[in-house]
Every structure is written in C-alpha cells, then in structure tokens.
Structure 1
Amino acid sequence: MSLNEVHISSLVVHTHPQHLASVKTAIEQFDNAEIYGDSPEGKIVVVLETENQGFVTDTIDAINNLPNVLSAVLVYHQIETDLDALDQSSFTTESEQPQSQFEGDV
C-alpha cells in the first residue's frame, strides 16, 4: 500500500478593499487554491489542497508576494494520509486505518 498525503490548509489574505477583486483574480490562478469567501473590508478566506508542506509554504509565499496583498496568514493545516485506501473494511488493525493530523490551529 502506498502512502499519499494531502495537506489541507486555510489562509486569511488581507488587501485594501479597492484591490479585493484583482487580488481574488490573482489567487484564483493558483491550481491548488480555492476562495471560500471574502469581506468588503478586504479579507479573503483561501483553502489550499497540496501534496506536501513545501507546496503549502511556497503557495503562501507566492500569495504574500502578489501585488496589493498586505498579508497572507495560515490559520489551519491538516494532513490526510493513506488516501489510496478506499475500502477501509479490508484493514485488519486499527493502525492500518487512514490517519489525519492537525497542525497549528490558530
């Protein structure tokens, strides 16, 4: 059985309200990023789904470096493992069940 990981992270991105639309358009260009909401004050909730932690930090850095982004802050990070195991009834012990880890709830 192969071990796969998916890192699910959420960010709050802050921009000036007048740049909200352009920053959202730029974020939507990332393959691993999805916008889940925004506020008129210029805050955007972004969810990332990546293969490893390196992609998480690389994407946060890239978003932070977008024009008109004031900050991009990680607020949640979860690691899902053993995603190839679709038929969980075939496991013989609890230790073989897919695992989930949580990091840095803020």
Structure 2
Amino acid sequence: MSECHISSLVVHSLPDRIPAIVEHLGRIQGAEVHGGQEAGKLIVTLETETEGQIVERLNAIQLLDGVLAATLVFHHFEPVQERE
C-alpha cells in the first residue's frame, strides 16, 4: 500500500535571492510556495510518496544559494488506498 506524505517547511532566505529560490522551489516535484516572500520566510508545502523524499527535498532546499535555513514544521502521512 502506498502512502501520501504532506509536510510544511519554513525557508529563511536572503531577501535578494528570494525570486530565484521561489523559481527553483517551483521546479521541485510536490513543492508549493504559499507566501512569505516579503518577509524572507517562505512557507512551503511538500507532497511526497515517502518520508525519504521529504528528507531529500529538504536537504536540497537547504543547499540552495541564499537559503539561510529550511526547517520542517509539520509532517502528516496516511495510506493511499489503491483503486480497483
């Protein structure tokens, strides 16, 4: 049975790098920015199939130029029932 993982992050960024960071986040599968650009604290959600994918994407976000910190603040998962 597969799972659906939903997590949220706060990504603290240098103000001058925010547009490039938002653009890069838009290319990460399952990532969506929900605001915070004006404060340099981006609110990001991730939808993934595994917990490992969350870790991989969080690590990749932390390594982006201009990212000061990326912090996981919420994680929820549940099984996805296959359709017959």
- TM-score, scaled to structure 1: 0.73
1:57 aligned to 2:55? Answer: yes
AA aligned to 2:27 is Q
Tell me if the contact between 2:17 and 2:65 (Cα under 8 Å) persists in the aligned partners.
no
- Matched-pair identity in %: 37
Q: CA deviation at 1:64?
A: 0.3
Give the structure with the larger strand fraction. 2
Q: Which residue of 2 aligns with 1:37?
A: 35
Give the structure with the larger helix fraction. 2
Query: Cα RMSD over matched residues?
Result: 1.5
Say which one has the larger Rg. Answer: 1
- Runs of 4+ residues over 6 Å off in structure 1: none
1:65-104 Cα distance to aligned partner (Å, 9 max, x none): 0111001000000002133269xxxxxxxxxxxxxxxxxx
Measured in 2, the distance between the counterparts of 1:56 and 1:62 equals: 10
Which residues of structure 1 form unaligned runs of 5+? 87-106
Output aligned runs, 1:79-98, within 5 Å: 79-84=77-82
Q: CA deviation at 1:50?
A: 0.4
Tell me if the contact between 1:16 and 1:41 (Cα under 8 Å) persists in the aligned partners.
no
Larger RCO: Structure 1 or Structure 2 (Cα < 8 Å, ≥ 6 residues apart)? Answer: 2
- TM-score, scaled to structure 2: 0.91
1:14-66 Cα distance to aligned partner (Å, 9 max, x none): 10112111111111110121111124121101100001000000000000001
Q: Which residue of 1 aligns with 2:8?
A: 10
Which residues of structure 2 form unaligned runs of 5+? none
Tell me if the contact between 2:6 and 2:46 (Cα under 8 Å) persists in the aligned partners.
yes
Aligned length: 84
Is the partner of 2:59 in helix, strand or coil? helix
